[in-house]
Structure formats: structure tokens, C-alpha cells
Amino acid sequence: MAATMSSGVALLGITSSSSTFCKRQASSSRHSVRMSVSLDEKRKTFTLQKSEEAFNAAKELMPGGVNSPVRAFNSVGGQPVFIKSVKGSHMWDIDGNEYIDYVGSWGPAIIGHADDKVLAALAETMKEGTSFGAPCLLENVLAEMVIAAVPSIEMVRFVNSGTEACMGVLRLARAFTDRPKIIKFEGCYHGHADPYLVKAGSGVATLGLPDSPGVPRAATIDTLTAAYNDISGVEELFKAHKGEIAGIILEPVVGNSGFITPKSEFLEFLRKITKENDALLIFDEVMTGFRLAYGGAQEYFGITPDLTTLGKIIGGGLPVGAYGGRRDIMEMVAPAGPMYQAGTLSGNPLAMTAGFHTLQRLKEPRSYEYLNEITRELIQGILEVGKKAGHAMCGGYIGGMFGFFFREGPVHNFADAKKSDTAKFGRFFRGMLEEGVYLAPSQFEAGFTSLAHTTDDIQRTVAAAEKVLKRI
Ligand SMILES: Cc1ncc(COP(=O)(O)O)c(C=O)c1O
């Protein structure tokens, strides 16, 4: 699949051929039937009382009442919904409200939540135990699948989260090149390890000052930042730090400042300048891996990095991460080589099982065509009703990943994204929640569809958006 789209706005030019495939899926889905009975009725009595009580209790027990900050709804107002169960494209909260879910546990649920085959396979694996702390065949199986799928990966190391993968890959890039500095882009997120917590932009970025208290200056002094899609900014960094840059890490399509695509020449430029300077190109595909295409962004754009990080989808909803790449680089990792990195639960049999069955499902014919079709229908629909209601909006999608901003496009970087009307997004988010649609609770997060989303889900979502956008 060629990458012809340079911005979210450009994506709007694509005409939707609402496919019979989607319709077939919709009519055959038991979830959509269940939904049509319950969701509209539930809306009449929408209450979050039990969630409110649970959140008040949680705030006494855990910082901010959550175990990961964005879940707290701070940027959209209101308070979080406590989820009781998930299935397919839907979630149910503890008050009995039902939602069409576009967060998908922040990405892993690409074949739908609680897929029957995954659950059955997990039950089988669980009979053998939950953790071995020793090699098992399931690790070989998933490693083979990942290596076969992702163009840059010749060898892989499994870890337990995307954060861990990005920590490992940075140490590896530094070890392999024997250089200290790394370039990251403003608005890209690579987990919460100290060296990545540098606020890009303005003087803070230039000075490499840390983003969070507790991160020592020494940990971020070698983190250089540039604006996403800014070729000259990267050129200047290579000039100013000749022979010191180990590599460039980026989200090849940004999801952590909202959905932002690379300009067509940007990835090619990064590949060229890293080669010219004996530095490594690292794609952080924790979000985009197996989501834009089976081989991730690198397959989609036809650009092969030296190293890649993965997470989310390859664990099928269980905690997982991975980094991999060229064999000569990966052979530096202990115990094959001297670069140390380890993990008590790494290669966990349950995570390997869920990952394997998730990838098996994704490998089936037309998976990515289907994701493209429904995601296109969704984003085109939302933007159309938004524009009809008089809102400045732009957005785009690739595969099962999408996003939109409350501002005119194009959006090429985080500075552009920040000009979005975030207060309006908050009103939209809360309105959609009441209508039974669960979006990521931040203007600066991408949305995700899954193979379990039906045309019925999409149409209901667009209808809900129309209603909400008329009144906000
Ligand atoms: C691109 C990217 N890298 C790294 C991470 C960190 O992954 P985790 O939350 O599993 O630690 C994320 C998380 O969303 C991510 O989107």
C-alpha cells in the first residue's frame, strides 16, 4: 500500500465506497443486535453515579484515582468511567452504560476486545501455568511471526511494555554507535523513561530540560529535540552535534499529539541523514505496529529503519513490548553481547499466546482493507457533520488509526496541534460519552478502530457526532 497521503486533510479526498463487506459484518454481528436494543434505551437514563463513587474511593487509594494519567479525564473535564467488561467493539461500565469503544485499551484491541479464540487459547495456555521464567516455545512462535512481518526486524527481544522497549532500544543505539545523543520530536511519546521526558519546543527543548520533576538534568542532557516534519531542524542538529548522535527515534505516524502523518519526504530524509551520519533510525511502532498495515508504518511507507519498537497489539491485550532490528545490532544485546537488559516476566506465555492469536487473525485476508474502509467511513462522517454544523475541523486516518482536530488543517506538528480548540474537544468528548461513544479523553490522542467495529457502529457514531456537534 503506497503512502500517498501527506496530511489528514489530504485523506479527505478519498471517496468512500461503503463496502458490502462492512454491511455483511454488521448484519452478522451479535453485538450490533444487542446494541440496537440496549444502547438507545440506556441513553435515556444515563448516569455515572457508581463510577463517581468508585472514582472518589480510588482517589484516596491511587494518585489521581488512576494508574495511568490520561485515564483520569483531566483534560476533558468530568471524571472517568469505570469499566466492568468489554467485548468486540463495545464496553460496559459499572452503571450499566454501553459504549462503542474507539480507545481499544489504547491500541491492543485491534481484533476486538475479548476475542473468543484468544480467550480460549489463553485458557489452554493457563493450564500449563502463568509464568515460567525460562524459555518456552511460544516465544519462538511469536518471534518468528514478528520477524516475518516487520521489514526491519531480523531479531527481536520481548519485554513487558512499550516504555521498556523504548528504554532498551535507546541503550542499544548508544551501545552500538558508542555515541550519547538521541534526537526525538516534539509531541512524540516514547514511554516514560527519563531520557524521553523532555518537553520539546521553546527554550526548554533547546536546553534539553526535563519535563517532569524527578528527572535529573543529567538524564536528558543528551536528548535533542526538533519539530515533527521539520527537515531543517534535524539538519541543524546533525551539524551542531557532529559525530555525537546515536540515532533518531520517532513515531512514524504520530498518535500522541493527536493523529499527525509524516510529510511524504520526511521519512525518506530521516533515512538518508541517519545513513550519511552513521546514526541509527528507530521507528517507535508501539502504536503503529500491525495497526497501519501488517508490517506497520515501515511497510506502509516503504522505509526500513535500523531498529523498531513494538508493544500493544503484539500482546493482544496482555502486557508486552518488544524491540528488534538488524541482526548485527541486536547481537549486542545480552547474553549474545554486552548491552544489558533483562526482565522477570519477559516472554510471558500468556502474553505470547494472546499476541500470536491476535496476529493470526490480522493475517487473514482483507483485514487491513476492512480497517481502512470502516475508519474512512468514520472519519469522513465525523468531519462532514462537523463542517455542516459550522466547526473548523480537520482529520485523517490510516488503517485502524484516526484522529481529528478542532481547527482548520493541515496539522504537521505538535505546535499546529496545540492550536486546536481543546475546550470544544472536551465538550464533544463529554457529549459523545453520553451518546454511548467512548473516545480517547484528550484532543492529543489518536483513536483506534478494530475488526469488530461494524458499519452499524460507525453509523451510530456519526449520528451521535452530528447530534453533539450541533449543540456544542
Ligand atoms: C508510540 C509509543 N511509544 C511508547 C509507548 C509506551 O508504551 P507503554 O504504555 O506500554 O509503556 C506508547 C504508549 O502509548 C506509545 O504510544
Residue-wise pLDDT tens digits, 375-430: 999 999 999 999 999 999 999 999 999 999 999 999 999 999 999 999 999 999 99
Q: Is residue 4 part of a domain?
A: no
Same domain, residue pair 145 and 57? no
pLDDT band at 12 (very low <50, low <70, confident <90, very high): very low
pLDDT value at 15 more than 60: no
150 in the same domain as 252? yes
CA 146/CA 356 separation, integer angstroms: 9
256: DSSP letter: B
pLDDT digit string (tens) for 148-170? 999 999 999 999 999 999 999 99
432 C-alpha to center of ligand 1: Å? Answer: 25
The answer, yes or no, to whether residue 204 has pLDDT greater than 80, is no
Q: Based on the domain organization, do 28 and 137 belong to the same domain? A: no
Q: Give the model's confidence band at 211: pLDDT under 50 very low, under 70 low, under 90 confident, else very high.
A: confident
> Between 43 and 118, whose confidence is greater?
118
pLDDT score of 30 more than 70: no
Catalytic residue among 99, 102, 189, 370: 189
Q: Which of 318, 342, 362 is the last residue of a domain?
A: 362
Reported as a single tens digit per residue, the pLDDT across 253-307 is: 999 999 999 998 999 999 999 999 999 999 999 999 999 999 999 999 999 999 9
Statement to judge: residues 136 and 91 lie in one domain: no
Task: State the distance from the centre of ligand 1 to the C-alpha of 163, rounded, in angstroms.
Answer: 6
Question: Ligand 1 pocket, 288 CB below 6 A?
Answer: no
Q: What is the C-alpha to C-alpha distance for residues 279 and 245, in angstroms, rounded to an integer?
A: 6
> Is 8 part of any domain?
no
Instruction: Please give the pLDDT value at position 362.
Output: 98
Mean pLDDT of the chain: 90
**Residue 13 CA, ligand 1 centroid: distance in Å:** 31
Could you tell me if residue 2 is inside a domain? no
Q: Which domain holds residue 430?
A: 16-116+365-471
Q: Is 163 in the pocket of ligand 1 (CB under 6 A)?
A: yes
Mutate-to-test residue for ligand 1 from 158, 184, 189, 313, highest number of ligand atoms within 8 A of CB: 189
C-beta 187 within 6 A of ligand 1: no
Residue 9 within a domain: no
Helix (H) / strand (E) element for 365: namely: none
CA of 313 to the centre of ligand 1 (A): 11
pLDDT of residue 108 exceeding 50, the answer is yes
> Which atom of ligand 1 lies nearest, measured to the CA of 251?
1
Question: Do 397 and 306 belong to one domain?
Answer: no
- Is 111 inside a domain boundary? yes
Q: Which one of 334, 362, 390 terminates a domain?
A: 362
Which is catalytic among the residues 93, 284, 456, 457?
284
* 50 and 170 housed in the same domain: no
CATH number where 257 lies: 3.40.640.10
Q: Which one of 101, 312, 370, 438 is the catalytic residue?
A: 312
Within a 10 A sphere around the Cβ of 112, how many other Cβ atoms? Answer: 23
Does some domain include residue 1? no
CA distance 447 to 63: 26
What radius of gyration, in Å, describes the C-alpha atoms of the chain? 22
406 lines ligand 1 (CB under 6 A): no
Which amino acid would we find at residue 96?
Answer: G
CA distance 35 to 463: 15
Q: Is 230 a catalytic residue?
A: no
Query: How many other C-beta atoms lie within 10 A of the C-beta of residue 151?
Result: 15
Of the candidates 81, 71, 14, the residue with the CA atom closest to the CA atom of residue 46:
81
Do 263 and 174 lie in one domain? The reply is yes
Q: Are residues 274 and 375 in the same domain?
A: no
Q: Per-residue DSSP letters for 38-70? A: HHHHHHHT---HHHHHHHHHHHHHSGGGSSSGG
Q: How confident is the model at residue 210 (pLDDT cuts 50, 70, 90)?
A: low
pLDDT at 8: 36
How far is the C-alpha of 275 from the C-alpha of 285, rounded, in Å?
20
In a domain, 440, yes or no: yes
Query: What's the domain count of the chain?
Result: 2
Q: Is the CB of 251 under 6 A from ligand 1?
A: yes
State the CATH number of the domain containing residue 449: 3.90.1150.10
Written as one string, the DSSP assignment of 102-156 is SSGGGTT-TT-BT-HHHHHHHHHHHHH-S--SS--HHHHHHHHHHHHHSTT-SEE
Q: What is the 3-state secondary structure (H, E, C) of 144-198?
A: HHHHHHCCCCCEEEEECCHHHHHHHHHHHHHHHHCCCEEEEECCCCCCCCHHHCE
Confidence of residue 22 (pLDDT cuts 50, 70, 90): very low
HSE-CB at 392 with a 13 A cutoff on CA atoms is 10
Averaged pLDDT, 441-457: 96
From 345, 362, 379, the end of a domain falls on 362
Under 8 Å between Cβ of 305 and 248:
no
From ligand 1's centre to the CA of 107, what distance in Å? 10
> Are both 51 and 122 inside the same structural domain?
no
What average pLDDT does the segment 51-57 reach? 97
Does residue 343 carry a pLDDT above 80? yes
Ligand 1 within 6 A of CB of 284? yes
Query: Is 190 close to ligand 1, i.e. is its CB under 6 Å away?
Result: yes
Q: For residues 189 and 268, state if they share a domain.
A: yes
Is residue 284 annotated as a catalytic residue, yes or no? Answer: yes
| Residue 286 in contact with ligand 1 by CB distance below 6 A | yes
Same domain, 223 and 333: yes
- Taking 80 as the threshold, does the pLDDT of residue 4 lie above it? no
Q: How far apart are CA 471 and CA 327, in angstroms?
A: 56
Q: Is residue 10 part of a domain?
A: no
Do 138 and 249 belong to one domain? yes
Half-sphere exposure of 386 toward its Cβ, with a 13 Å CA cutoff? 20
Distance of CA 6 to the CA centre of its chain: 19
pLDDT band, residue 26 (cuts 50/70/90): very low
Q: Which atom of ligand 1 is nearest to the CA of 311?
A: 10
